[in-house]
Amino acid sequence: MGLYEILAPIGAGGMGEVYRAWDTKLGRDVALKVLPESFAGDPERMARFEREAQVLASLNHPNIATIHGLEESGGVRALVMEVVEGPTLAERIAHRAMPLDEALLIAKQIAEGLEYAHERGIIYRDLKPANVKLTADGKVKILDFGLAKALEAPVPAGNPSISPTLTLEGTRAGVILGTAAYMAPEQARGAIVDKRADIWAFGVVLYEMLTGKRLFEGETISDTLAAVLTKEPELERVPANLRRLLQCCLQKDPKQRLQAIGDWRLLLEKTPEIAVPARRMWLWPSVAAMLLVMLGLVSFLQFRRKPPAEPRVVRFTIPLPEKGILGEFLSLSPDGKRFAFTVSVGSSVQLWMRALDSLQSHPLAGTEGTDGVPFWSFDSRYIVFWTGGKLKKIDVSGGPPQTLCDVPLLVFRGFWTRDNKIVFGSATGVLQVAAGGGVPSRLTTVDRTRQEMYHGVPALLPDGRHFVFQRYAPGSVENGGIYLASLDTKPEAQGLKRLLPDLSMPFYVPSLEPATPNVGYLLFVREGTLMAQRFDGGRLELTSDPVPVAERLGDFGAYSVSETGTLVYTTGDSTYRRLTWYDRQGKATGTAWTPGQTSELNLSRDGSRVAVANLTSARDIWVFEFARDVSNRLTNGPGLNLRPVWSPDGSRIVYSSYEAGGFWMLANPASGAGKEELLRKSDSEMCANDWSRDGRYLLFQENDSNAQGRSHLWFLPMDGDRKPTPYFHSEFNENSGQFSPDGRFVAYVSDQSSSDEVYVSSFPDPNAVRLPISHGGGYQPRWRRDGKELLYFSPDGMLMSVDVTLSPVFKAGVPKVLFQSQIYAGSVPSNIWGRAFWDISPDGQHFLINTISSDTSATLTVVLNWQAALKK
- pLDDT at position 38 is 57
Higher pLDDT, 235 or 307: 235
Whole-number Å distance between alpha carbons of 69 and 32: 10
Whole-number Å distance between alpha carbons of 59 and 66: 7
- Which helix (H) or strand (E) segment is 100 a member of? helix 100-119
Q: In this structure, which topology does domain 4-268 adopt according to CATH?
A: Transferase(Phosphotransferase); domain 1 (1.10.510)
Confidence of residue 157 (pLDDT cuts 50, 70, 90): very low
Q: Give the least confident one: 315-329, 733-747, 776-790, 821-835.
A: 821-835
746 within 8 A of 740, measured Cβ to Cβ: yes
- pLDDT at position 595 is 54
Residue 686 phi/psi, 5° resolution?
-150, 160
Whole-number Å distance between alpha carbons of 481 and 411: 18
- Residues making up the chain, counted from first to last: 872
| Portion of the chain with pLDDT greater than 70, in percent | 79
Asked if pLDDT for residue 638 goes beyond 70, the answer is no
716 within 8 A of 724, measured Cβ to Cβ: yes
Asked if pLDDT for residue 702 goes beyond 70, the answer is yes
**Dihedral angle of Cα 55, 61, 66, 68, to the nearest 10 degrees:** 70
Whole-number Å distance between alpha carbons of 707 and 71: 59
731 within 8 A of 721, measured Cβ to Cβ: no
- pLDDT at position 373 is 81
Whole-number Å distance between alpha carbons of 338 and 8: 50
Q: In this structure, which topology does domain 577-852 adopt according to CATH?
A: Neuraminidase (2.120.10)
Whole-number Å distance between alpha carbons of 394 and 410: 18
Asked if pLDDT for residue 574 goes beyond 80, the answer is no
Residue 35 phi/psi, 5° resolution?
-70, 130
- pLDDT at position 553 is 80
Whole-number Å distance between alpha carbons of 563 and 332: 10
- pLDDT at position 466 is 93
Q: Give the least confident one: 472-486, 596-610, 787-801.
A: 472-486
Whole-number Å distance between alpha carbons of 266 and 146: 27
| Portion of the chain with pLDDT greater than 90, in percent | 36
- Stretch 759-773: mean pLDDT, rounded? 94
Whole-number Å distance between alpha carbons of 636 and 841: 28
What is the dihedral sign for C-alpha 753, 757, 762, 765?
positive
Q: What is the 3-state secondary structure (H, E, C) of 632-667?
A: EECCCCCCEEEEEEECCCCCEEEEEEEECCEEEEEE
- pLDDT at position 829 is 41
Whole-number Å distance between alpha carbons of 738 and 787: 12
CA-to-CA separations, 260 to 390, 396, 408, 415, in angstroms, rounded? 29, 11, 35, 23
- pLDDT at position 479 is 81
User: Residues 6 or more apart from 608 whose CB is under 8 A from it?
Assistant: 625, 626, 627, 650
- Residue 364's identity, in one-letter code, is L
Asked if pLDDT for residue 584 goes beyond 60, the answer is yes
- pLDDT at position 293 is 41
- All structural domains of the chain with their residue ranges: 4-268, 408-503, 577-852
Strand positions, DSSP E, 496-608: 497-500, 507-510, 519-526, 529-536, 541-542, 547-550, 559-561, 566-571, 577-583, 588-596, 598-603
- Stretch 400-422: mean pLDDT, rounded? 88
Whole-number Å distance between alpha carbons of 148 and 165: 7
Mean pLDDT of the chain: 81
pTM here is: 0.55
- pLDDT at position 286 is 44
The per-residue pLDDT for range 338-389, each reduced to its tens digit, is 889 888 765 567 888 888 877 678 888 888 878 778 999 999 999 999 887 7
Q: Any idea which residues carry the catalytic annotation?
A: 126
Q: Give the least confident one: 201-215, 292-306, 486-500, 858-872.
A: 292-306
Whole-number Å distance between alpha carbons of 152 and 177: 9
